[in-house]
Amino acid sequence: MNFSLYKSQQKLEIIDLFQNTFSDSEGSEEGTVIGKLVSDFLSHSLQEDDLFVFVACDDHQRVIGSYPFL
């Protein structure tokens, strides 16, 4: 497992991760809401020092976890 800062090319993978996780645990409607929230969050232009998104990737570089900090 590798830990790193978010790269813009990982955006869709992170959105899918959150949407699928919440869909599985809370239902598809909730998954859609969370997916939109994460999409908006990652699209919002903040100062570089205001937003940190960390990701965990498996050995094939697939995103398997993510945590945003403001």
pLDDT score for 9: 93
CATH of domain 2-69: 3.40.630.30
pLDDT score for 19: 98
* 68 closest CA partner among 55, 59, 58, 57: 55
C-alpha distances in angstroms, 54 versus 24, 26, 27, 29, 32? 22, 24, 25, 26, 22
pLDDT score for 50: 77
Give the tens place of pLDDT for each residue, 12-58. 999 999 999 999 999 999 999 999 999 998 887 656 667 789 999 99
